[in-house]
Amino acid sequence: MSRLLREKLLSQLCMTIVFAGMAGTAAQAYQADQPFIDEQKVQAEWWARQDEQIDERLAQLEKKYGKKPNIVYILADDIGWGELGSYGGGILRGTPTPNLDTMAEQGIKFTSHYSEPSCTPTRLALLTGRHPVRTGVDIVLWPGQKQGLADEEVTVAEMLSKAGYKTAMFGKWHVGELEEHAPERQGFDYAYYGLYNGKPYSWANMEAYYQAETIDGNGYEYDFPGSFKDYEEKYGIKVHGHFEGIKGKGRKEVEPLGPTSMPDMESGNIKRIKKYIKANAKSKQPFFIYWASYAQQMAASPREFRGRPGYDVPNLQSAELAQHDDYVKELLDTLQKEGVAENTLVVWVSDNGPMYAFWPDSGYSWLRGGKGEVYEGGVRTPGLAWWPGVIESGQTVHDMISTTDLFTTAARIAGVKDKIPSDRIVDGLDQTALLLNGNGHGRRNYIFHYSGNRLAAVRMDNMKLHIKPGSKGGLPNMEVYNITRDPGEKFGSMYHHLSYVVPFQRIIGKHKQMIKKYPHRVLPSGIF
């Protein structure tokens, strides 16, 4: 046997051993998309060594506290890239964010966190780890619609429950209003929530607007029939208020929507969250909290946060972000006081970019585009991770991370990656290495951006493709940007990037082949 052949066989044997070792660590127990499978083969040995070290660190932490780490996911609303002080905004934008900026200083600031382009889709992505189009729901939901999170989908709460976690949800649910869609039916032990986005909250003001010139809140939709009762009588659509749900016991509507329901929900929820942390800090079971904040939905401005020095008041967005900033501090302080901060991962991300339709009350992004668009301003949002003693402080991380990754990362930290379903594509990647090891240790080198059910853009390494309909005389109709040099997406001429036509075609082709193998969920016909 020649030396060259011996070396080749030895190399193949080493790779086989590495893959075998990865079965319990880096290798996914679930069905990932093909681009990740390809990258995993390339990075197999390196990732296997990383994961062995991560397993050891997590085991030491579990030994110290006698349980798996607690996990808190905070999903903010409509906060654009550049809104926070740590992203070049803050006081410059008339809305200081001192507490979120401190959170960034004490942990990780992600410069390349990607959400979906609007609210319902991002919530589905976080809860299921899948592109929303795969779940059968690819739209923003409104009162009266019957679509929602299918019972067959596996949520992060269901998965963590199998690991012995106590689970709770607070805030904006917005993935279906039927009881079958409710959080207490989707893995959460306890939930206090609203069903909709911010728009129906402003409808609560309309009848009063017809009767008076000045009331609390806003008047964005003067043609609303006048009251929720009028709306139901005219269209047969009931607008629900806030619910309290308990797993196994169902839910009850505890308060109707009113002019100040949204800021009241926020102030009430931080009290509930703090109470929940205090009640479970010493428990033998770890806890998972999903706080979907209503901040920046701009239905009403919280009175106690108006008029602060340095804030753009009476701007609704400014007051709501000030409220949210304070409440994040209260949550982190509670974790510290209860002695569980070192055993609690907290991740804060925004669900999409700003909604400029309500300018000047809306937020802002330094990047091109906003909510509903797949330009960076719509899908690239601020993201922070905080885990004292585990995550090194003061980090700025440029690796790509997706909201879908929160699902899979939670599974890894909780030790239940084997509970992720393998009969469907799970888009989320395990980013524990990025959290624990920092910049350059991400597992994602691509991301697909959907607009509804249409694949509209793809980022691959530093390059981003926007897919346009049709062709130009046989040439592809596309925009291509080097997103590192051109984050504002100003210079996207395809003629300067024709070398990327085939690489993008190939990654899209692999993605679509996996869709053929694992088709998107189709909801029952007649559901609207």
Q: Which residue has the tokens 């993605």?
A: 511
What are the φ/ψ torsions at residue 383 (nearest 5 degrees)?
Answer: -150, 135
Helix (H) or strand (E) holding 27: none
Helix (H) or strand (E) holding 480: strand 475-482
SS3 per-residue string spanning 165-208? CEEEEEEECCCCCCHHHCHHHCCCCEEEEECCCCHHHHHCCHHH
- The answer to whether 448 and 150 are in contact (CB under 8 A) is no
Helix intervals (H) in 283-372: 316-337
Structure tokens at 61: 């932490």
Distance CA 445, CA 405 (A): 13
Tell me the pairing of strands 70-76 and 287-292: parallel
Distance CA 113, CA 405 (A): 10
Cα atoms in the Cβ-side hemisphere of radius 13 Å centred on 489: 23
Distance CA 114, CA 351 (A): 9
Helix (H) or strand (E) holding 125: helix 119-128
Distance CA 187, CA 166 (A): 10
Q: Pick the closest to residue 399 from 324, 329, 462 (CA basis).
A: 462
SS3 per-residue string spanning 222-269? CCCCCCHHHHHHHHCCCCCCEEEEECCCEEEEEECCCCCHHHHHHHHH
| Residue 466 annotated to the active site | no
- The answer to whether 66 and 72 are in contact (CB under 8 A) is no
SS3 per-residue string spanning 66-87? CCCCEEEEEEECCCCCCCCHHH
Q: CA 160 from chain center: how many Å?
A: 17
| Residue 119 annotated to the active site | yes
- The answer to whether 463 and 485 are in contact (CB under 8 A) is no
Distance CA 124, CA 406 (A): 12
Q: Which residue has the tokens 């893959």?
A: 19
Q: Output the CA torsion 130→134→136→140 (10° steps).
A: 60
Which of the residues 113, 131, 174, 511 is marked catalytic? 174
- The answer to whether 158 and 164 are in contact (CB under 8 A) is no
The residues carrying an active-site annotation are 119, 174
